[in-house]
Amino acid sequence: MAEVTPTTRDGSASARIAEAVRRAILSGEHQPGERIVQEELAERYGGSRIPVREALRQLESEGLVRLVANTGAWVQSLTMAQCSEVYQTRERLEPLLLRHSAEHLTDEVIHTLDGLAQKMEASDDIEEFLELDRQFHFATYRAEGTYVLRDLVTRLWNTTQPYRRAYTGLVDQEHMRIFHDDHHMLVSALRDGDMKLAEQIVAIHIRRTRVNLERHPEIFPDTDPDQE
């Protein structure tokens, strides 16, 4: 999986564990709402509970894990409203990030994008599809120099990953067709260097996905047990 880590600066155990748990959550190995026991992670990744706890703190700050004092940790689950909120945030931020990336989108990058878009269209495996989709969009986000915005967007993608997975399993041919069309249109706009259009396409693409997600309340938890 690519582009999963928002902010890792050291190679210590706690960072390693944070990365591993993050991947486990994003890959669907740990489902939203699932309990996380410190000692299990410690044993699994070979260490004591100390680095595990630090990793969980970090993941909590990233919105992937929910900690309750003296009680435990759970994989964060979002209500539909919260998920929608994240998507609305992405609608605003990703066009901005794309704009910052404009100068780095060389012919070579665009060629890669084209390849990814086609490969995605040929894919019939959900996990592969999700991974390609992620690679595609982040390939367009190459803003360099500073990383605040890309980190932010990465986190937003991460927190909504489980619902993207659930939704992808439900989507019909017609919507999938439109989804792929968006990608091809984006590649085309970028090839023409029409950044204004590209930004609009990204915003619409995200919004389209959000609206579709909102049509499937069944993939979200029924009640929202006061998880602030």
Partner DNA sequence: GGTGGACTGATTGCATCCAGTATGGTGCTT
Partner DNA sequence: AAGCACCATACTGGATGCAATCAGTCCACC
Contact call for residue 49 and DNA (CB under 7 A): yes
Q: Is 76 in the site for DNA (CB under 7 A)?
A: no
Residue 51 binds to DNA (criterion: CB under 7 A): yes
Tokens found for residue 83: 């998920």
Is there a contact between 201 and 186 (Cβ–Cβ < 8 Å)?
Answer: yes
What CA–CA distance (Å, rounded) separates 76 from 62? 10
User: Judged by CB under 7 A, which stretch of 44-52, 109-117, 152-160, 200-208 contacts DNA?
Assistant: 44-52
Residue written as token pair 């029409």 = 194
| Nearest one of 117, 92, 217, 223 to 167, comparing CA atoms | 217
170 binds, among DNA, a copy of itself, none (CB under 5 to 8 A by kind): none
Output the smallest distance, CB 76 to a copy of itself, in A.
11
**Candidates 5-13, 82-90, 148-156, 179-187 — which segment interacts with DNA by CB under 7 A?**
5-13
13 sits near DNA (criterion: CB under 7 A): yes
DSSP string, 103-141: GG--HHHHHHHHHHHHHHHH---HHHHHHHHHHHHHHH-
Q: From a copy of itself, DNA, none, which one binds at residue 49 (CB under 5 to 8 Å depending on kind)?
A: DNA
Residue numbers at the binding site for DNA (CB under 7 A): 10, 12-14, 36-39, 46-51, 53-54, 67, 69-73
